Structures are given as structure tokens and as C-alpha cells.
Amino acid sequence: MKSHFIAWWNVENLFDVKDAPPNRRPEKLKRKIKADLWNWTADVLAQKLTNLSRIIVQMNAGAGPDILGVCEVENRHVMLQLTEKLQIPGRNYGIINSDSSDNRGIDVGFIYDQNRYQFNPNEWFQHAIIKRYATREIVQATLRTTQGNELILIGNHWPSRSAGQYASEPFRIIAAETLSYFVQRIQEEKGNDAAIVVMGDFNDEPFNRSVTDYALSVRSRSKVVYGQNPYLYNLMWPLMGKRIASYVFAGRPLMIDQFLVSKGIAKKSGLFRLREDAATLVQFDGMVQGRYDTPVRFGQTQPDFSGYSDHLPIAFVLEEK
């Protein structure tokens, strides 16, 4: 039985250098993030990449992730630089990156081991969530394992709570409805047993209505397996109530980074199967601080060279027959 170590990390404003060539940063975006780039030099970016890679290479008992979903990455150029830092014996990492119209240029992408998966570029889709302008996105990609089975990834970065949790909630509901449509469309095209892994920074927790009522994410495995709707099994529920979280806001722990899986993975008789209590937080020495285990952020206007991101990574292991 083969195992797949799948991780997700909001890497917090992984920007290109402030004087990036025009073909790497549209002028409109450059004006928007100018303040964020005030102290963002090539040396700062290099340190950020070093810090991130230090954590990533420790994942999976030092073997590195098989698949890593990321968000808040500005462009393909910095994603390539990150993969170049991941010097792990036997790994051959490739990238799948989006180039969205997000107002701050923070996109979703995947890093995957090309020795273990084949990416189908004809089955790559993205959808920006629109307010008055494009913001955040949903990205779908299909990988084929060495066993010949398809694994469909959907990466999410839903609109933030910066305008207030409830004032901004309608935009996350739009994202959730879009995600549910993606899942339903995949199941219509590939069958109800399609293996779909949804991951992302949802900016809502597993119990918030955008996730439960609109993305159709549930804590009941049997409801996903036997229900008629395109339900998703939320792997984060066993971690809830343990005072651990992927993100901390004003001393409040929030589990806003999540994995959701489809019926094809939730059922125990499929090509893929889950370990019990599959999802974990990825946390190594120096990644958190304070009484609430707040992630040590790297920041951008005044970088902290000992930091990493304002989010902790999450991971789970998927087994394949």
C-alpha cells in the first residue's frame, strides 16, 4: 500500500523582490503592494525562502511532502525559487501555479513530486471570487499516481475577515458555493467515487456556515459516503476543542486551514483510504510563541528573520491500494 503525505501552508505574503521586472509584476499590482515591499529586498526574500524550506524539508519525517498546497505566493518565479531550496534526496519537485487577478497578487499553487505524480495540464482550472474586484481564488488540478489512479486537488484561499467576520461572510459563502459546484461537476464527469482532496485557508472554521451549509462540509463520514449531496468529510474536527489552531487572532485560536475529502476517499472500500484522525498540525521548534502558541510570522514591512508565517502548516497521510 502506497502512502501520500499531503500538506497545506499559507506561507504569508511570499512576494517577489520589490524591484521585480515589469513582466513579473503589473504596474497596478506594484502600486497596490508598494507599502508591503518597503523593506523587501533580494536578501529578505532569500531569508524567507530559507526559513520556509527549513520547515518543509522536515515534514514527513524528513522525507518532505509528496504534495504541498500553498497560498499567498505572488508568482511562478518565487514558487520556483522555493522548490529550488527543497534539496531532499530522491525528490524532483514541480509546481502548478495560478496567476490570478487578486488585488494583492497572492495566489494558490501546488508543489508535487514529479517522480510520483503526473500532472494533466488539460485538467487545470481556476476561479477568482469577485467582490468589486477579483479576490482570492479556487484552483483545481488533476494528478495521476504511479499506480495509475487520479487524485484531484482543489486549493482554496477564501476572502479574508478584514472587513469584519459577518460583513465579509457573504464573499466566503460565494467561494463555498463555487467549491461545491466544482466538486459536483467533478463527480458528474468522473463518477461519485472520484478522489478529491480539498485544502486551503478558508478564513472560516469547520463549524461556520460557509463551510457547513454552502461547501457542504460535515464531520460525519457516513453522511459523506451515503448522502445524496456532494458532501465533503472535514478532517479537522478531531483537532477542534484541543486549543490548537493553524492561526491565532488576538489570542483566539482559529482552525481556518483545513482538509476536506470527497466520498471517493471517505469510503473505506475505495482506491484511497484515510488513517483515523488523519490530519495534524505541522509544528517544529521555533514556529510558535506565547501562551496561545501563536505562529511566529516573518512579516514584510519589518521582517523578523527568525519567523516563518502567520499560519502553521497542516498535513495528513492518504493511503492508496
Cell of 118: 503526473
Chain segment 29-75, per-residue pLDDT in tens:
556 565 666 788 899 999 999 999 999 999 999 999 999 999 999 88
Q: Are 70 and 108 in contact (CB under 8 A)?
A: yes
Check which CATH number belongs to the domain holding 179 and give it.
Answer: 3.60.10.10
The domain total for the chain is 1
Cα 20 off chain centre by: 25
Spatial distance between the Cα atoms of 195 and 122, rounded to a whole number of angstroms: 18
Please tell me the pTM assigned to this model: 0.93
**CA proximity to 139, closest of 126, 123, 121, 129:** 126
Chain segment 126-153, per-residue pLDDT in tens:
776 665 544 567 899 999 999 999 999 9
Q: Which domain holds residue 49?
A: 2-320
Cell of 71: 497560498
Q: 306 — phi, psi (to 5°)?
A: -95, 0
pLDDT at 291: 87
| N-to-C CA span, the chain | 5
pLDDT greater than 90 at residue 26:
no
Structure confidence at residue 160 as a pLDDT band (50, 70, 90): confident
* CA distances from residue 259 to 32, 86, 120, 136, 237 in whole angstroms, order as listed: 31, 23, 22, 18, 10
pLDDT greater than 90 at residue 162:
no
CA dihedral 213, 129, 17, 294 (to 10 degrees): -20
DSSP string covering 175-239: HHHHHHHHHHHHHHHH-TT--EEEEEE-SS-TTSHIIIIIS-EES-HHHHHH-SS--EEETTGGG
* CA distances from residue 278 to 6, 145, 223, 274, 295 in whole angstroms, order as listed: 11, 20, 18, 6, 22
